[in-house]
């Protein structure tokens, strides 16, 4: 995992790109580390997946994600939520920070991609390279 570089397979859907950007934001803001210290690495990864899926579901209509992608993220959210609950849930100290972190993740994604109610910006659409892409967030460049 890295907070400044994201590798994508060829022709990623919007949700895939946005999810990876959300994970980079989680790392940058120390969310993963906070959960890993409290719960361990594997449960922290599940929380990060759950949180990213939730942000995509909550903002799917606003960001004009296809309903099929929103439905898949809703399924992923339920799946990871269930796993986390079976393992004892999220500690209260961290659970109370989730609403603020969800808003922060959405704002980060919007600032990086120029998302608005009109949907993805032009640079996001250019990522449909047949060779895949690596995005360097520290340099704000797409490396194909």
Q: 90 with 98: CB under 8 angstroms?
A: yes
Q: What are phi and psi of 141, to 5 degrees?
A: -130, 150
Average of per-residue pLDDT across 123-140: 46
The whole domain housing 122 covers: 5-143
pLDDT tens digits, residue range 32-42? 999 999 999 99
Q: Name which residue leads in pLDDT, 19 or 122.
A: 19
pLDDT tens digits, residue range 44-92? 999 999 999 999 999 999 999 999 999 999 999 999 999 999 999 999 9
CA distance 106 to 110: 6
The reported pTM is 0.80
Q: Tell me the percentage of the chain whose pLDDT exceeds 90.
A: 66
Domain count, the chain: 1
């Amino acid at each position: 995992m890295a907070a400044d570089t994201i590798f994508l397979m060829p022709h990623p859907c919007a949700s895939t790109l946005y999810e990876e950007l959300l994970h980079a934001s989680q790392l940058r803001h120390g969310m993963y580390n906070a959960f890993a210290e409290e719960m361990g690495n594997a449960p922290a990864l599940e929380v990060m997946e759950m949180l990213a899926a939730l942000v995509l579901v909550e903002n799917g209509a606003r960001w004009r994600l296809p309903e099929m992608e929103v439905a898949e993220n809703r399924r992923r959210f339920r799946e990871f939520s269930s796993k986390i609950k079976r393992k004892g849930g999220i500690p209260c100290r961290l659970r109370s920070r989730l609403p603020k972190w969800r808003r922060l993740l959405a704002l980060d994604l919007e600032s990086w991609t120029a998302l608005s109610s009109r949907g993805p910006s032009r640079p996001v659409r250019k990522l449909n390279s047949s060779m895949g892409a690596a995005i360097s967030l520290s340099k704000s460049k797409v490396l194909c």
